[in-house]
Amino acid sequence: MIIFQHLGSSCLNLLHYLGSLADLVREIFCSLFRGSIRWRQVSHQLAEIGWRSQPVIIVTGAFTGAVLAAQALFQLKQMGMENGGGALVSVAMFRELGPSITALMLAGRVGSGMAAEIGTMKVTEQVDALRSMAVHPVDFLVFPRIIAILIAVPLLTAQAAFCGIGASFLVGVKAFGVPAAYWNTHVNRFTDITDVIVLLVKALSFGLLIVVISCHQGLSATNGAVGVGQGTTRAMVFSALAILMMNFFLTMVLNAIFPAGFSQ
């Protein structure tokens, strides 16, 4: 009986959380038709989300592509198929690893920052001060971050994918001795515009998940500094879980619509 009560309570908490998220999404849609866009806030968030995230994304993308190439070539070399390593890495970076690792890194770096900043404003009553000045908190705090992340995340994801492909080229050609002409030929043959479309769809979807979940945790913060810390942790964890779950469903749908070059 206690187990069923616990499950029932967990389900109710989940439904309450999803309902509050839906309410925030509704407010965001209303912001599309309310007032003007605060471009100064958007530019500030672009610098924070895009420019300052580049070192992390470049290093993560490069080493992900390098280790993927090395692991693939160790296996492909046994079958004499190491020439196809570049195509494997290219498709994987565009369709899966590029969007996923970029979103997960941004969930930790950007999402936690959003939750902490907005949460601090919430517990210090700065959000209430915005309302007292007839400024809607979603318009001022959330909507500029959404615009900024929708611009920055596709660019960062493409950057991670290209850095990974470039690093894999160095590993394949320099470390494993694969001829550069064969490597590039397979990459060009099996990578096309559908892979770029998949990358963009996933990047935009993951970016929206990060900003909505993180801003919601910030706006829901209570209990002072303890609540801000808990909200920051939940923003990272919930964003990462949502990204991984969404990635599965997007992979199934997008691969049915846009098959990879290997299956064409």
- Could you tell me the residue ranges of all domains in the chain? 37-263
133 and 35 in contact (C-beta within 8 Å)?
no
Helices (H), the chain: 2-31, 39-49, 54-76, 85-92, 98-106, 112-123, 126-132, 137, 143-170, 180-190, 193-219, 224-257
Name, in order, each residue with C-beta under 8 angstroms of 247's C-beta and a sequence gap of 6 or more.
Answer: 96, 99, 100, 202, 206
CA separation for the pair 49, 114 (Å, rounded): 10
**Token pair in block for residue 191:** 């990578």
What digits encode the pLDDT tens for the residues 91-138? 999 999 999 999 999 999 999 999 999 999 998 888 888 888 878 888
What digits encode the pLDDT tens for the residues 48-103? 999 999 999 999 999 999 999 999 898 888 887 777 788 899 999 999 999 999 99
Q: Report pLDDT for 224.
A: 81
Q: Report pLDDT for 80.
A: 74
Helices (H), 133-192: 137, 143-170, 180-190
**Token pair in block for residue 30:** 């209303």
212 and 25 in contact (C-beta within 8 Å)?
yes
What digits encode the pLDDT tens for the residues 205-261? 999 999 999 999 999 888 888 888 888 999 999 999 999 999 999 999 999 998 876
**Token pair in block for residue 106:** 């941004």
Q: What is the value of pTM for the model shown?
A: 0.91
73 and 176 in contact (C-beta within 8 Å)?
yes
94 and 198 in contact (C-beta within 8 Å)?
yes
